[in-house]
Amino acid sequence: MIFNTYWFVAFAAIVVPVYWLLQKPFLRIPFLGVACVIFHFQFAGPAGMMPVIALGLVTYLLALTRNPAACIFGIILSVAALCFYKYTHFIVVDLLGVFNPAWATAAQTSANKLLPGAPPLAMSFFAFEFVHYLFEIKRGGTPLKNPLHFLIFSLFFPSLVAGPIKRYGQFIPAMLEGATKIRADDLSEGFRRIAIGFFKKVVIADNLTLAIDHYVPQFGTLDLGVRWFVFSLIALRILMDFSGYSDIAIGLARLLGVKLPENFNWPYAALSIQEFWQRWHISLSSWIRDYVYIPLGGNRHGVVRKIINGLLAFGLCGLWHGPAWHFVIWGVYHGLGLAVCSNYSAIPKLGPWLSALLNRRPTICWISTQLFVWFGWLIFFYPLPEALRLARLLFNQ
């Protein structure tokens, strides 16, 4: 985590007060731009920065043309860059390798010569934000003319590493407002969110990570009750880790007077899978909805198409989290859950009865939703055979 490095603490301790002291927007905005570049350089290094700068420059220039074909080209370029840097190994070894291992080996050797040791920092976030930007311009949005504004939108340091995924239509006005005036409310809310975020991340999530890493390898030797307890800790850990990070990002942005969109809203209070995805990683799920699910046709072409679109969108959502099959399976698992959840009431006889029962008994809805989500975390964190083994152990002595 970048936010709990001493470098970042020192960086923020300098940048935030200087930003406050500058007071005038014509000073604050360039200063923020420089700070964002320094931050990105520190954690991405020159090799990690170059692809992002190149992609950003192309995105900025293509958007200025307002030409739909140019925007589509830019979108394809962003997706291709993401696939190249993050998914080449997965595509070559895990996909191509299934059909022809010899080709996979040859392609992997060639790819290794071109690929850096690790993908550029936060490549997934850059790609998604650039795609969103070009998509909106193609739809008739106004491109950002000021390159500094585009640079800050792209490299805004509080949200650079783990989101929330920004929308330029919301971010730029918020950034300009912050550059004009920072209110006491911004500072108090910013500090509050940062404190909550660090508590969630450092005190709760990091401790849970240590405990889970210790107990999961000996899962089979634990008492059944302890297994369920550890199982619940896995669910708690990812929420605290991810939402803690988002809280810090939102709080830091708020110290600069910028309101970022919320990313989590008590997801474990959800009574259905749909509701869960309205509460969990909101900026990602809404991005998937707006730029994958709806363009695929959404729910406009019948139930079968709706289900297929949902599975595709969630498969991609899973893959976004990492280039491995268990992420894809996790996404498809949620896509299936969503399909069942949104269509079960149409099943003759059983559907209306079940729907009436669940409406009367929200506790059943809550328990079934949470169990579904929590079992999903096993698939998310562990390779499928291991996830299934752990799941089986929850029911066997």
Partner 1 sequence: MRFLEFLAALRHFPLSPKILVVGVLIGFGTLCFLGRKAAVTDKHEGFVRLTQWVAPETKYYPTVNELMSIVRSAIKPDQILVIVGGNSVTRGVGQPADKIWTKRLQTLLGDGYCVVNLAFNGSLPTDGGAVVAEALRFEFPRQIYIANAAPTQAPNPEGSLVYRFVFWDAWAKGLLVTDDADRNAMIKESHSNPAFGYLPGFEELRIRNFLDRWFYFQDYWNDITLTRFNTVWAPYFPGLSQFLRARNTFPDPEPDFLAMPIENRYIPAHLEAEMINVRGTSVYAYDPVKNTAGQWNVYQPVWDQFRARVKGVFPKALKKRTLILVSHNSPYYLNKLTPDERERNTLAYDLAVKEWESAGYASLQYGSDFHPTQDYGDRTHLTWKGGEKLAAIVATKIDSMARELGYLKAQSAPAARP
Q: Is 267 helix (H, G, I), strand (E, B) or coil?
A: helix
Give the nearest distance from C-beta 226 to partner 1 in angstroms: 8
Give the nearest distance from C-beta 21 to partner 1 in angstroms: 11
- Report the site for partner 1 in 11-30 (rule: CB under 8 A): 20
Of 135-143, 202-210, 283-291, 311-319: span binding partner 1 (CB under 8 A): 202-210
Q: Which of 281, 321, 326, 334 is catalytic?
A: 321
CB of 16 or CB of 336, closer to partner 1: 16
The closest alpha carbon to 42, from 84, 81, 5, belongs to 5
User: CB atoms < 10 A from the CB of 3, how many?
Assistant: 21
Helices within the chain (DSSP H only): 6-22, 25-65, 68-82, 88-89, 97-99, 101-114, 123-138, 147-155, 168-180, 184-198, 206-215, 224-255, 273-279, 282-288, 302-321, 325-343, 350-360, 362-381, 384-393
Give the nearest distance from C-beta 94 to partner 1 in angstroms: 29
Among 65, 180, 207, 359, binds partner 1 (CB under 8 A): 207
Structure-token pair, residue 162: 């783990």
Cα dist. 90→109, 129, 130, 264 in Å? Answer: 13, 23, 23, 29
Based on the shown chain and the rule CB under 8 A, indicate whether residue 118 belongs to the binding site for partner 1. Answer: no
Of 5-13, 43-51, 70-78, 362-370: span binding partner 1 (CB under 8 A): 5-13
Rounded CA-CA distance 311/33 in Å is: 39
Give the nearest distance from C-beta 206 to partner 1 in angstroms: 8
Catalytic site residue 214? Answer: no
The closest alpha carbon to 249, from 29, 32, 4, 52, belongs to 4
Q: Is 265 helix (H, G, I), strand (E, B) or coil?
A: coil
Based on the shown chain and the rule CB under 8 A, indicate whether residue 69 belongs to the binding site for partner 1. Answer: no
The closest alpha carbon to 391, from 216, 213, 207, 206, belongs to 216
Based on the shown chain and the rule CB under 8 A, indicate whether residue 191 belongs to the binding site for partner 1. Answer: yes
CB of 210 or CB of 357, closer to partner 1: 210
CB of 109 or CB of 207, closer to partner 1: 207
Based on the shown chain and the rule CB under 8 A, indicate whether residue 217 belongs to the binding site for partner 1. Answer: no
Of 49-57, 108-116, 210-218, 350-358: span binding partner 1 (CB under 8 A): 210-218
Based on the shown chain and the rule CB under 8 A, indicate whether residue 6 belongs to the binding site for partner 1. Answer: yes
Based on the shown chain and the rule CB under 8 A, indicate whether residue 95 belongs to the binding site for partner 1. Answer: no
- Report the site for partner 1 in 223-262 (rule: CB under 8 A): 229
Q: Is the dihedral angle over the CA atoms 160, 264, 377, 128 positive or is it negative?
A: negative
With b meaning 16 or more CB within 10 Å and e meaning fewer, what string describes 127-154?
A: bbbbbbbbbbbbeebebbeeeebbbbbb
CB of 6 or CB of 395, closer to partner 1: 6
CB of 203 or CB of 346, closer to partner 1: 203
Q: What's the 3-state SS for 336-356?
A: HHHHHHHHHHHCCCHHHHHHH
Of 51-59, 89-97, 203-211, 332-340: span binding partner 1 (CB under 8 A): 203-211
Rounded CA-CA distance 54/166 in Å is: 20
CB of 210 or CB of 347, closer to partner 1: 210
Rounded CA-CA distance 382/388 in Å is: 9
The closest alpha carbon to 212, from 226, 225, 223, belongs to 226
Give the nearest distance from C-beta 192 to partner 1 in angstroms: 9
In the DSSP assignment, the letter for residue 115 is: S
Mask for 150-189, x = binds partner 1 (CB under 8 A): --------------------------------xxx--xx-
Based on the shown chain and the rule CB under 8 A, indicate whether residue 41 belongs to the binding site for partner 1. Answer: no
CB of 92 or CB of 182, closer to partner 1: 182
Give the nearest distance from C-beta 130 to partner 1 in angstroms: 31
CB of 1 or CB of 72, closer to partner 1: 1
Residue count, binding to partner 1 (CB under 8 A)? 20
Rounded CA-CA distance 198/319 in Å is: 28
- Report the site for partner 1 in 303-362 (rule: CB under 8 A): none
Positions annotated as catalytic residues are 321
What does the binding site for partner 1 look like in residue numbers (CB under 8 A)?
A: 5-7, 9-10, 20, 182-184, 187-188, 191, 203, 206-208, 210-211, 214, 229
